[in-house]
């Protein structure tokens, strides 16, 4: 083979290698922007990066920005509605409950027929639930949570979130009942039976099985007796005394009732009157005094 032919062959191989290298090093084309692209990128960001084997670093703000692009740039995409809920969930997980509520509420108002509405309602209620304070504090978050959970149960009784909503609703009502019972206990100890009756009945109407409900019923019975409504009070006390009550409450009733305690204990179990029963509902409607 001549030197010229060798040089030509070597030149062809060199060109081939150069072209191959150029092709190999060329960057892949950027994917076209789309709702799917941004949404999936957000999900990838939310997976986070593992740090020290068990800790995960998640750039939640970056994920929110990507999801917001889906909402802003592709408002008619199905993923835009999912992005709204996803941002609400992110804020919820960050304990930023008021921000989470705004996304859940907006979702319900903007997409009332969407099958994810029960979820949004439940999570909205849960956002309020997480802000509930001690029974002695302001109970507006409790009332707001009750509203959301009741909507779930009234409008979507067969939804996946109806069960959890029912359980949280019980806890919320117990919270409100405990507040009324605590105020009633204050009146009771101050000898203000008229005001105590109203609050005990309110607590028992809100949630008959509230924490310490036996104490509420027993003290209601004592107050009714002291307000010259002996028959009503005896009927309630007779029911309470057939149940298992703690020693402290039994000692209190022994002190309050004296010889009548054994007589009332023997009356047998009688049902506590319901909210509409005149034996407990028809009390003087005067205003409470002292604690508000």
pLDDT of 211-226, one tens digit each? 999 999 999 999 999 9
* Confidence (pLDDT) at 252: 95
Pair (85, 101) in one structural domain? no
Per the prediction, the chain carries an average pLDDT of: 84
* Confidence (pLDDT) at 263: 87
Pair (132, 191) in one structural domain? no
Q: Select from 53, 74, 93 the last residue of a domain.
A: 93
* Confidence (pLDDT) at 90: 95
* Residue pair 143/176 in contact by the 8 Å Cβ criterion: yes
* Confidence (pLDDT) at 126: 98
Is residue 157 classed as helix, strand or coil in its secondary structure?
A: coil
Is 224 part of a structural domain of the chain?
A: yes
**What sign does the CA torsion over 151, 156, 158, 160 have?**
negative
* Nearest Cα residue to 45 out of 57, 29, 32, 54: 57
List, in order, residues 6 or more apart from 198 with CB less than 8 Å away. Answer: 184, 283, 284, 285, 286, 288
Is 175 part of a structural domain of the chain?
A: no
Pair (82, 105) in one structural domain? no
Tokens of 69: 């692009």
Pair (102, 56) in one structural domain? no
Pair (265, 248) in one structural domain? yes
Pair (187, 289) in one structural domain? yes
Pair (100, 76) in one structural domain? no
Pair (149, 45) in one structural domain? no
* Number of domains within the chain: 3
Residues 209, 217: Cα–Cα separation, whole Å: 10
Pair (72, 119) in one structural domain? no
* Confidence (pLDDT) at 97: 97
This prediction's pTM: 0.75
Is 51 part of a structural domain of the chain?
A: yes
Pair (193, 286) in one structural domain? yes
Is 132 part of a structural domain of the chain?
A: yes
* Confidence (pLDDT) at 58: 79
Is 11 part of a structural domain of the chain?
A: no
* Confidence (pLDDT) at 51: 55
Residues 64, 45: Cα–Cα separation, whole Å: 10
Mean pLDDT of the 223-252 span: 94
* Residue pair 241/254 in contact by the 8 Å Cβ criterion: no
Is 68 part of a structural domain of the chain?
A: yes
Is 232 part of a structural domain of the chain?
A: yes
Mean pLDDT of the 168-191 span: 96
* Nearest Cα residue to 83 out of 96, 74, 94, 92: 74
Pair (224, 136) in one structural domain? no
**What sign does the CA torsion over 142, 143, 149, 153 have?**
positive
Strand pairing class (55-57; 49-51): antiparallel
Q: Quote the domain boundaries for residue 145.
A: 95-160
* Confidence (pLDDT) at 50: 59
Pair (189, 142) in one structural domain? no
Is 277 part of a structural domain of the chain?
A: yes
Each residue of 59-83: pLDDT tens digit? 889 999 999 999 999 999 999 999 9
């Amino acid at each position: 083979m001549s030197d010229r032919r060798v040089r030509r062959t070597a030149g062809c191989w060199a060109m081939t290698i150069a072209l191959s290298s150029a092709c190999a090093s060329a960057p892949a084309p950027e994917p076209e922007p789309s709702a799917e692209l941004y949404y999936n990128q957000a999900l990838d960001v939310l997976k986070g990066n593992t740090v020290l084997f068990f800790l995960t670093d998640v750039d939640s703000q970056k994920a929110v920005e990507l999801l917001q692009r889906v909402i802003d740039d592709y408002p008619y995409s199905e993923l835009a509605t999912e992005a709204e809920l996803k941002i609400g969930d992110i804020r919820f997980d960050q304990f930023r409950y008021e921000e989470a509520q705004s996304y859940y509420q907006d979702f319900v108002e903007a997409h009332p027929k969407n099958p994810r509405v029960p979820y949004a309602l439940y999570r909205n209620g849960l956002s309020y639930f997480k802000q509930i304070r001690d029974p002695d504090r302001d109970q507006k978050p409790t009332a707001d949570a009750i509203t959301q959970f009741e909507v779930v149960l009234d409008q979507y009784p067969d939804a996946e979130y109806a069960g959890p909503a029912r359980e949280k609703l019980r806890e919320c009502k117990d919270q409100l009942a405990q507040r009324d019972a605590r105020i009633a206990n204050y009146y009771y100890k101050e000898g203000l039976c008229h005001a105590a009756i109203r609050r005990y009945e309110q607590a028992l109407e809100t949630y008959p099985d509230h924490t310490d409900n036996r104490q509420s019923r027993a003290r209601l019975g004592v107050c009714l007796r002291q307000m010259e409504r002996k028959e009503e009070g005896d009927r309630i006390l007779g029911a309470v005394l057939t149940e298992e009550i703690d020693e402290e409450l039994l000692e209190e009733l022994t002190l309050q009732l004296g010889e009548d305690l054994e007589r009332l204990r023997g009356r047998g179990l009688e049902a506590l009157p319901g909210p509409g029963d005149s034996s407990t509902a028809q009390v003087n409607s005067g205003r409470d005094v002292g604690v508000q």
